[in-house]
Structure 1
Amino acid sequence: MKKDQAFYVPILCLIFLAGLIALRYLPPVTVFGYELKTIDMFSDVEKEPASDIKKIVPKVEPKVEIQCPKNKICFEDYSVDQNMFKTLFLSIDNLKSDTLGKVRIAFFGDSFIEGDVFCGDFRDLLQEKFGGMGVGWVPVTSEVSQFRQTIKEDFKNYTTFDAVHQPKEKVPYPPFGICTQPLPNNSATYYSTHFSPRTDKLPNFRILYQSKSPFSAKVISDGNSQNIQLKAGKNIQDHSILINKSKKVNLTFASDPNIFLYGFSFEDKSGVYVDNFSLRGNAGLSLLSSSSEMHKSLNRLQDYKLIILQYGVNAVSEKTSDFAWYTRMMNKVITEMKASYPQAGILLISVGDRSKKINGSYKTLPTIKLMVEAQRAIAAENKIAFWNMYEAMGGESSMVDYVTANPPKANKDYTHINFLGGKEIGTLLFNSLLFEYEKAKSK
């Protein structure tokens, strides 16, 4: 080796080492709905965090004793009369006599339920038991449109904003934080799937939107074409489209900067509908980015009987145990939800398990347990219901069990479940709700 070449060898080695170190600080990358694991060459030598992490919230015990079977994870109801689900259950019972009745549940969450993971099975079990056909709300565009199993979609020529990644955009965000504008030559096509008998056809649907002026759209379903006119309106408007149970529906819209599309709601004449309002990276605080008027207009159209809040993983840090800021903000969120959806019960779902490689093996982050306690305290303070998903998964190191299961029930990022894990947890949540329903009926 020449002398001048030898001079550059240590420099190149340092650059290579610096590159490896930098890889551990890259944000997670998602491909086809799966989050790739971050490269971290130091994970095997990291020390376990101190076990005496300061607890910033007291452990809250239920006000009343919970008679819960060993094979179920029961709700902790902190409402004044321990009857948070009363409106939901009465509405479900009324479905038997109301052939046009619809019972709607809003499921606000983060990437944990993205692509209808977990939420899809929960919805399907409710519809199998109480009736209903269709997935409810779907966005105009989606990063997981092909990953999702309950409905498929192709789309082109739209501009989409979301309240988490573009909070400063001056667009009228709806409560679920996704807003889309049609560009010239736009198109959105939805397809039924074989996820279950309740998804093998597309039922009728409604267009949710806002526009300063009337505009036109074209709908083609199984070869039948409809030209429609949508009226102008503030906040959230809707327009119903009849397609008579089709396999495929295509939509195109006029292009206008005054048009804001908020998605579509696929639903049959009656039954239970669960709207999956997942938003990647959301800690729950984006619900405050929408005005009270927008929340109330959504409630006017949907009349939700239950609001489910599933957040937490995006607020958890392995180095921060002070969740006081999160508690303050979630208190504001729940106050807004109570004011905007006064008829609805509210259920807060805790964060699930999340693991990190420490001393060569994956273990539950200690701060996960603190977040669960913080969320229980939030539920108690706001007098709403609480469901411990961390416990439902199995508690300590359960994410490791999910990842190493055969077949796996979670992704190798040790944070997100897959469809198999989602089916398991969705079934547990359904069983918890059904247990409360049967208990209420017996009274």
Structure 2
Amino acid sequence: MTDPKDYTQRGWKACAALIAVLTVVGFLPPQQVGGISLRRANILSEIVSFDDGAAAERDEAPADEIELPEIDWEQAAEVVPVMPDTVRPQRERTLVFEWRTAGPAKVPVAVDSLRAEEFIAQEAPAVPIEDFDTTGASPLAAFYEKLAERRPVRIAFLGDSFVEGDILTADLREALQREFGGSGVGFAPMASPLTGFRRTVKTRSSDWTAYNVMQQAKAPADVRDLFTVSGWVCRPVDGASTRWEMTDARECLTPTESARVWFRSVCDSRVEAVVNDSLSRTFEVPGDEALREVAVYHPDLRTLEFRVKSGAAGFVGYGACFAGEGGVTVDNYSIRSNNGRALFRTSPALNAGLQALVSYDLVVLQYGLNIMQQGVHGYAKYGEQLRQMIAYVRRCFPGAAVLVLGVSDRSVRSDSGFEPMDAVPYLTREQRRAAEQSGAAFWSTADAMRSLGGMARFVTQGWAGKDYTHINYGGGRQIALVLFDAIRAGAARAAGEGRRESLQRVELEPVLDAAAVDSLLFNRPIEIR
């Protein structure tokens, strides 16, 4: 019987060879495989560190991510300005169907304009909004004035998955409505597979087929050009219905006072609206290619059901907007995985028709999370796309102020744990530059998050996911309150300026009276200093 061979030395040799290979691999720079970034495999991270950011490509983000859209701007410029006139209700075409239901009498509440004194004790906002308008007639200043005077204000919040499910916007809406009045959850789509994630409104729909603008090519040919900024179009069959129920997830959501259902019906159709599961009314809708609206008013509106009773063949549904008859309305138009380019796939004419119906005062652009990459510091092409987005919004929503939100803070895994993504300040800088060059407004979301401790603290506090990228409702509330402080500060300035102008007029009146008397008695010209 022979003795068994001793393989101990071979095992140690194999182990040493493996360590040697891994050590050599650790000195290889990060690689790109199939468009996916692979980080350095450094087993000596506790001893040797590398500045991979300096070695990475920093000139520009991948072209396939920031390719500029193909759009006929001249045609858009011709179509959009005339749309508000063409969609205005006329004798031969009724585009707005109104129903004021019978209900409990509403007690009128006297609302005064804000007084500058109310803000004296308030500290300056942690992150102010920068207004780059140089025309002397800033739309953002006009927005602040309407807030200060407690006039109705409408905000369209266009974003990506960062605000999906009413994250951030739910708390911004609540804070604004508590301060400046208003009620209601704003826009809710007719049907969507994502409605279950939203806490601020319950949506139950049946017999609708929903299409998302991010999969525009998969939508039927006859609806591909019918998307609005909501990002959804829904095709029904006869009998299709949607029921929206207000919730108490935030203050001021319920009860509300009005619901406006938006749709397009190129053929004659019959639709029905049911309020609070009891009051109902049927509308005969003549065919038309423009955006249509059924506006329902009830002083204690808690549920609304909308049915397509006939005419589904030429019908497209968008959703409903729930709001008070005064105060602030915030509509969340979030589209998952959108870096902003999907905006150009929407219809300028239908967007302008929406503006003619509701008149947005402020449009917020919250994008960039899906374009940012570790090690990439050049975002000039994305900045150019953002400037085109601002121009597009202005053509679709004339008169509205445009506010660009900088990209949020984000962390990435490194050999020593998670660290801030190095691309954040570079993309933020390009977004701010695009706003400045376009005369729009800018607010830094990353600065707001870092004023609260940054993404690392957000994760520790349970305000963001373990991916160190997406915030949750807790994180959204923190950011919303910082943004609210910045908006409130703008309204305070408007209130203060209005107060000063009022005092100047009061002080000037006696001078003018005395000067007028002096002019009549002594034939002297009136002199105002």
TM-score (norm 1): 0.80
Matched, 1:88 2:161: no
TM-fit CA distance, 1:189: 1.8
Q: Are the aligned partners of 1:159 and 1:181 in contact in 2 as well (CA < 8 Å)?
A: yes
Aligned to 1:239: 294
Within the candidate set 363, 368, 372, 1:312 is matched to 368
Q: Are the aligned partners of 1:84 and 1:345 in contact in 2 as well (CA < 8 Å)?
A: yes
Distance in structure 1 (CA, Å) of the matches to 2:125 and 2:401: 25
Q: Are the aligned partners of 1:48 and 1:359 in contact in 2 as well (CA < 8 Å)?
A: no
TM-fit CA distance, 1:385: 0.8
Within the candidate set 229, 246, 254, 1:192 is matched to 246
Amino acid at match of 1:252: R
Amino-acid identity (%) = 26
User: What secondary structure, in the 3-state scheme, does the structure 2 residue paired with 1:188 have?
Assistant: strand
Kindly provide the CA deviation profile for residues 228-285 of structure 1, in whole angstroms up to 9, marking residues without a partner as x: 3334332422121234424333222246231111110111221111111111111111
Aligned to 1:298: 354
Aligned to 1:10: none
Matched, 1:365 2:421: yes
- 1:268/1:104 CA distance change after superposition, 3 Å: same
Aligned to 2:303: 248
Aligned to 2:109: none
- 1:362/1:258 CA distance change after superposition, 3 Å: same
Aligned to 1:19: none
Matched, 1:141 2:191: yes
Aligned to 2:100: none
Mapping of residues 155-166 of structure 1, within 5 Å = 155-166=205-216
Mapping of residues 264-303 of structure 1, within 5 Å = 264-303=320-359
Q: Are the aligned partners of 2:139 and 2:399 in contact in 1 as well (CA < 8 Å)?
A: no
Matched, 1:180 2:234: yes
Q: Are the aligned partners of 2:125 and 2:482 in contact in 1 as well (CA < 8 Å)?
A: no
Matched, 1:322 2:378: yes
TM-fit CA distance, 1:177: 2.3
Distance in structure 2 (CA, Å) of the matches to 1:396 and 1:425: 9
Within the candidate set 260, 284, 307, 1:229 is matched to 284
TM-fit CA distance, 1:403: 0.8
Distance in structure 2 (CA, Å) of the matches to 1:339 and 1:239: 25
Distance in structure 2 (CA, Å) of the matches to 1:296 and 1:409: 37
Amino acid at match of 2:485: N
- 1:414/1:230 CA distance change after superposition, 3 Å: farther
Q: Are the aligned partners of 2:187 and 2:321 in contact in 1 as well (CA < 8 Å)?
A: yes
Distance in structure 2 (CA, Å) of the matches to 1:77 and 1:55: 29
Aligned to 1:111: 161
- 1:44/1:79 CA distance change after superposition, 3 Å: farther
User: What secondary structure, in the 3-state scheme, does the structure 2 residue paired with 1:50 have?
Assistant: helix
Distance in structure 2 (CA, Å) of the matches to 1:115 and 1:48: 38
Kindly provide the CA deviation profile for residues 78-127 of structure 1, in whole angstroms up to 9, marking residues without a partner as x: 110574522212333454xxxxx632111111111111110111111111
TM-fit CA distance, 1:323: 1.8
Aligned to 1:351: 407
Aligned to 1:11: none
Amino acid at match of 1:212: V
Within the candidate set 152, 155, 164, 2:202 is matched to 152
Matched, 1:428 2:431: no
Distance in structure 2 (CA, Å) of the matches to 1:116 and 1:153: 14
Instruction: Find the structure with the greater CA-based Rg.
Output: 2
Q: Are the aligned partners of 1:176 and 1:287 in contact in 2 as well (CA < 8 Å)?
A: no
Mapping of residues 53-132 of structure 1, within 5 Å = 54=58, 72-80=126-134, 83-95=138-150, 102-132=152-182
Q: Are the aligned partners of 1:111 and 1:278 in contact in 2 as well (CA < 8 Å)?
A: yes
TM-fit CA distance, 1:345: 1.2
- 1:48/1:231 CA distance change after superposition, 3 Å: farther
Q: Are the aligned partners of 2:124 and 2:489 in contact in 1 as well (CA < 8 Å)?
A: no
Aligned to 1:34: none
- 1:153/1:202 CA distance change after superposition, 3 Å: farther
Amino acid at match of 1:92: L
Residue correspondences, number = 390
- 1:55/1:379 CA distance change after superposition, 3 Å: farther
Q: Which runs of 5+ in 2 are unaligned?
A: 1-32, 62-121, 498-529
Within the candidate set 50, 53, 65, 2:53 is matched to 50
Aligned to 1:342: 398
Q: Which runs of 5+ in 1 are unaligned?
A: 1-24, 27-39, 58-67, 96-100
- 1:231/1:416 CA distance change after superposition, 3 Å: farther
Distance in structure 1 (CA, Å) of the matches to 2:479 and 2:376: 28
- 1:251/1:319 CA distance change after superposition, 3 Å: same
- 1:71/1:267 CA distance change after superposition, 3 Å: closer
TM-score (norm 2): 0.68
TM-fit CA distance, 1:168: 6.3
- 1:43/1:395 CA distance change after superposition, 3 Å: farther
Q: Are the aligned partners of 2:125 and 2:485 in contact in 1 as well (CA < 8 Å)?
A: no
Within the candidate set 449, 453, 467, 1:393 is matched to 449
Distance in structure 2 (CA, Å) of the matches to 1:365 and 1:431: 27
Amino acid at match of 2:273: V
Q: Are the aligned partners of 2:364 and 2:403 in contact in 1 as well (CA < 8 Å)?
A: yes
TM-fit CA distance, 1:200: 2.8
User: What secondary structure, in the 3-state scheme, does the structure 2 residue paired with 1:154 have?
Assistant: strand
